[in-house]
Chains A and B, each alone.
Chain A
Amino acid sequence: MSDKTQNSENRELSRRQFLKFAGGIAAGVGFGGSLPRLFQLSDGIIAVPASEGYLLIDTKKCAGCLSCMMACSLVHEGKENLSLSRIQILQNPYGRFPEDISQEFCRQCVYPACVEACPTGALAADAKTGRVRIVYQNKCVGCQQCVEACHYDPSRVVWNHEDKYSIKCDLCANTPYWNEKGGPDGCQACIEICPMKAIAFTKDIPRQDMEGYTVNLRGLAWKNLGFPTD
């Protein structure tokens, strides 16, 4: 894995790293009971404790096979449906490498608009699930404010139109159809299934820019297949 995925010198990230550990102590400060998971930084930015894990995807290694989407839908919903996958792979068959595919997945934002937007507390970042931003389906009333609030397009919060609640990447913390421990301290179905090993997991908050994470999981073996590693 490239060291580009880690950047401890970034000032903002240092603060995020702090939040990752401080979150449990600060929870609830400055807010009423309706938003118990949020707290406010000194500069006024609303945040929640940082997730204890993140997905990394090498955009140039992905083969666009959609296996991650099928795996995601399978372990979470017990059925196969690309529309119910919390990771979305978009592609243009006539496109030029590497712009032919984009991999759209939840960044477990440090400042999660989806969590902030949820009026019922159905979207949370609890310690017991490694602070991943997770939807508790029994609390979801289907208002879709989380779907709308996500800063990314396509929204990383997915509307489950069959069962009528929002779903999003939880790093497999809650997979009722998979007998495998998930979450930040377990396995993630997309990583396990990706045949190109184009998805990885990190506990360190990845550096982000406008292009998203910069991830390079391509080494000598990839080069020996005749594919680029730069």
Chain B
Amino acid sequence: MKGHMGKILRIDLTSRSLSVIDTAQYEGWFGGHGMGSAIFWDLCKDKAISGYDPRNVITIMTSPLSGTLVPSASGRTEICGIGIQSYPTEWYTRSNVGGRFSAMLKYAGWDGIVIEGKADKPVWINIINDQVTIESAESLWGLDAWQTQEEIWSAVMGERNYEGWWQVGTARDSGRSTQKPAVLAIGQAGEHLNRNAAIIHDAGNGAGQGGFGGVWGAKNLKAISVMGTGSISIADPNALIEARRWHQSRQYNVDAPAMQFPTDNFPPMYGTMARTPGFAPLILPVTEPSRPKGCAGCFVACRKRTQSGYSNESTCVETAYYLDGGPEIQWKAADLLQRYGLNVYDINIFNYLRELNKMGILGRGKQIECDLPFEKFGSWEFIDMYCRQIAYREGIGADLGEGIIRASAKWGRLEEDLNSGILPFPNWGFNEHYDPRLEVEWSYGSILGDRDINEHDFNWYVHWMPMVTAAAGQPPAYSAEKISEIFAKKLSPYNDPMMPDYSEEGIYSDAKIKSVAWHRHYTRFYKQSMLFCDWAWPDLINVNVPNLEGTTGEAEPKFINAVTGGNITFEEGMELGRKIWNLDRAIWTLQGRHRDQEVHAGYVYNVPTTVPYHLPVYENGEWKFSTCEGRTLDRNKWEDFKTRYYKFEGWDPETGWPTRAALSSVGLGQVADELAKNDRLGK
């Protein structure tokens, strides 16, 4: 298949041996998550092991689109393996990091990397085209993720690591580049095996969810560096550039935008609708001179690099988790995360810790000993100490490095605090991202899976748009009925106009089953295997064009076929997504998954929503936007929904396990055999 480089690098850290997997063996999975799950299935013989176990198999995968001009699909890397963050079970999971690593890996001639075993001493992997060496990382151990990358740039390129052509070796035709090596690295948090440790790339790209930084630390793997100077074959170059022109012509025009913002202070907020440059750092108001920064091949460029250099490339909550001290401390706090390699979502728990402090439970000389200066919350001193303690597992960090969910369990508070909602972690020990009682594709998809899904496919349209326009005192950019109309057109193969109904009835409806299934299948293939970026795809409703219709449905296969030379349809991609979703389900089943576990934290059912939360609803025969106050999930209705969803996917409604019929329908008969052998095949 064009777009593939033909080989996957397999590294056994225990024996320090290298080998090559022929990509063609896994070609039918295309790349990314699908290919990673298939490799994991084959190579990780005991899938019920801990994520810390040396036998854990970690895949770091590209896609056929990586390194190509396909918009916002060129730079993302999918990382899979058994994670260490989810609770109570360490599920097989995934994370995804932007930047340019996957592109560079392709230019070096590799479709992915598979990591097995555990090195006896700290190491880093040095990939320069087809030359791969395992290097000592003893001099890097203890450095933060930025220092590590800078040291590796110098180690690979010598002192002249910028501003010129760098020659691979000494032969005239061995390749040259002006780019820095692309490096994935862990900081001190990963070295200390934190369950909230991230893998960091460049300044602000992080694979956070799952705790893969701690998994790397357990393998004594500090970093992987790659420098590539080779070419990726493209089946139809003209079709590719013309598809890019076509798609881009329908996106935000930076010089002549179709949408005008109502106020000066709202660019990032309106950027969630129009996909404007630099919208990802949610900083209001915008005061710091900066430029937008895009990952490789991106048409949005949602990040920023700033005049101060603070918060370079950081996004979203990273730039806004610590607001009380003002902009400079806020931005520097983002850099603490990137340097230590910390997952912001697990450490953004100030409300909980301060509540325990106020209750007299946590603090100096209290039941839970903690020497953090809560009286100085908002200061640099506080956040510096807080992040350091977690990264080094010092003080309260000894507990918080295990992740807040396990810390709370150790303190004997978990059940009570999940029930009251002062610890709002609804799914598998992951922090609340959007309201699990209301925006249910998110919470259903998370609990039916392995983590906080962090997939914004519907979220921009159904929640952000009405919320932002309401906050600005403006009418919605489009009606709830328009959402229904376009979703019905775009969400193939189901095409049900009731899918975006978030009313009390709608969230348990058959249409919502289709909506959840579409979301699971679309993301598994298009986003996590083909690696279209979550913040740029799908293109469903587009405020930059008069008819509001995005390119999704037409665009994805157009790009894939231009690169690969294939003839895949959008629906065939959705079916591949279903296949990957089923394979993951089989892995979780072997890890001990049962339907009884797929229940959200208590507060989701016990504590009604109080804050206005905008979503489209269909009530009394008409579409409208509602603020959805006073809502909870109903336990019985959720159980009924689960039963119907399992049947929809072809899974056993008693256990939630995949059936032979479901697995065979997507060509996974051998997976059914393995489940049967383990007495875990659904009936």
Contacts and interface: CB of A to CB of B under 8 A. Distances in A.
A67 interface: yes
A82 B254 contact: no
B113 interface: no
A3 B107 CA distance: 40
Contacts of B174: 161
Contact of B306 (A81, A96, A159, A224): A96
Nearest to B149: A93
Contacts of B276: 225
A37 interface: no
B237 interface: yes
Interface string B294-315: 1111111100011111001100
Nearest to B166: A154
Contacts of B305: 64, 93, 95-97, 100-101
Interface residues of B, number: 77
Contact of B231 (A79, A144, A177): A79
Contacts of A92: 162, 180
Contacts of B306: 96-97
A71 B69 contact: yes
Interface in A78-97: 78-84, 88, 90, 92-97
Contacts of B244: 71, 193
Contact of A225 (B238, B256, B278): B278
Which of B180, B237, B238, B248 neighbours the largest number of chain A CB atoms within 10 Å of its CB? B237
B293 A64 contact: yes
A161 B248 CA distance: 32
A81 B69 contact: no
Contacts of A164: 173
B163 A74 contact: no
Contacts of A159: 172, 176
Nearest to B290: A97
Contact of A161 (B176, B257, B296): B176
A60 to B, nearest CB: 6
Nearest to B244: A193
B255 A154 contact: no
Given A60-B291, A65-B298, A93-B203, A81 B278 contact: no
B291 A193 contact: no
Interface in A55-71: 60-67, 70-71
B511 to A, nearest CB: 36
B36 interface: no
B291 A65 contact: no
B297 A67 contact: yes
30 contacts: A63-B301, A67-B298, A71-B241, A74-B237, A80-B67, A80-B107, A80-B231, A80-B234, A83-B229, A92-B180, A94-B150, A95-B312, A96-B309, A97-B305, A97-B309, A98-B291, A154-B163, A154-B178, A161-B172, A161-B174, A161-B229, A177-B237, A178-B238, A179-B242, A193-B245, A193-B248, A195-B248, A225-B271, A225-B292, A227-B278
Given A178-B237, A197-B254, 7 more contacts: A63-B294, A64-B291, A65-B294, A74-B69, A154-B163, A224-B267, A225-B271
